Amino acid sequence: MDSFDKHILQILQRDCTFSVSEIAEQVGLSSTPCWRRIQALEKSGVITGRVALASPEKLNVGLTVFVMVKTNQHNTKWLSRFAETIRDIPEIMEFYRLSGDVDYLLRVVVPDMKAFDTFYKTLITHADFSDISSSFAMEELKYTTSLPVDYI
């Protein structure tokens, strides 16, 4: 991946609605080579999709909650069942298995505390946990979907 590819990727991560000719102009290429590079980035799996980002506030899910889960069930059967449950809950935006004191971290979006309480009651019916704690985001100081490209 050269500097043209990195620049193209940076542009697309910021706004994928630019036309190929607009991207080509920004990176200093003609349209055809730029289009080929975008196609190669998609084919190689560097670009995994193109999406529209929605406003959580406009969709009435402006409360972000980080849910930390601990379990004493450290086996693949439990994890498979838990992961399957997580996939079916639309309020869960991200789901990570962690090292350290907390086993799993979920990023959840809901309209308000009442909706979170309903979510919480649903979550605890689907798996055995030894502890669940939640932290509510008070202010979003940085949010990006753009990954750094300098490590390639």
Q: What is the pLDDT of residue 80?
A: 92
Q: What is the pLDDT along the chain (152 residues), one digit of tens a residue?
A: 999 999 999 999 999 999 999 999 999 999 999 999 999 999 999 999 999 999 999 999 999 999 999 998 888 998 999 999 999 899 999 999 999 999 999 999 999 999 999 999 999 988 889 999 999 999 999 999 999 999 98
Which strands form 104-110's sheet, in the order they lie side by side? Answer: 92-97, 104-110, 63-70, 131-136
Q: Hey, what domains does the chain have and what are their CATH numbers? A: 3-43 (1.10.10.10), 63-136 (3.30.70.920)
Q: What is the pLDDT of residue 74?
A: 87
Nearest 5°: the CA angle 149, 54, 134 is: 85
**Encoded tokens for 48:** 């995994």
Give 3-state DSSP helix, strand, coil % of the chain, rounded to 5.
40, 20, 45
Distance CA 148, CA 91 (A): 27
Q: Is the pTM of this model over 0.85?
A: yes
Q: What is the pLDDT of residue 152?
A: 86
**Encoded tokens for 90:** 């639309």
By the 10 Å C-beta count (0-12 exposed, 13-18 middle, 19+ buried), 31 is classed as: middle
Q: What is the pLDDT of residue 128?
A: 83
Pair type for strands 104-110 and 92-97: antiparallel
